[in-house]
Amino acid sequence: DTAVSQTPKYLVTQMGNDKSIKCEQNLGHDTMYWYKQDSKKFLKIMFSYNNKELIINETVPNRFSPKSPDKAHLNLHINSLELGDSAVYFCASSQGTVADTQYFGPGTRLTVL
In the complex, which residues of this chain contact other proteins (CB under 8 A)?
40-45, 48, 56, 58, 90, 98-99, 101-102, 104-107
Q: How far is the CB of 51 from other proteins (least distance, A)?
A: 16
Per the CB < 8 A criterion, the answer to whether 52 and 76 are in contact is no
Q: 9: left (phi > 0), else alpha (psi -120 to 50), else beta?
A: alpha
The nearer residue to other proteins, 44 or 67, going by C-beta atoms, is 44
Q: How far is the CB of 107 from other proteins (least distance, A)?
A: 6
Q: Is 2 exposed, middle or buried (0-12, 13-18, 19+ CB in 10 A)?
A: exposed
The nearer residue to other proteins, 5 or 65, going by C-beta atoms, is 5
The nearer residue to other proteins, 68 or 102, going by C-beta atoms, is 102
Q: How far is the CB of 16 from other proteins (least distance, A)?
A: 28
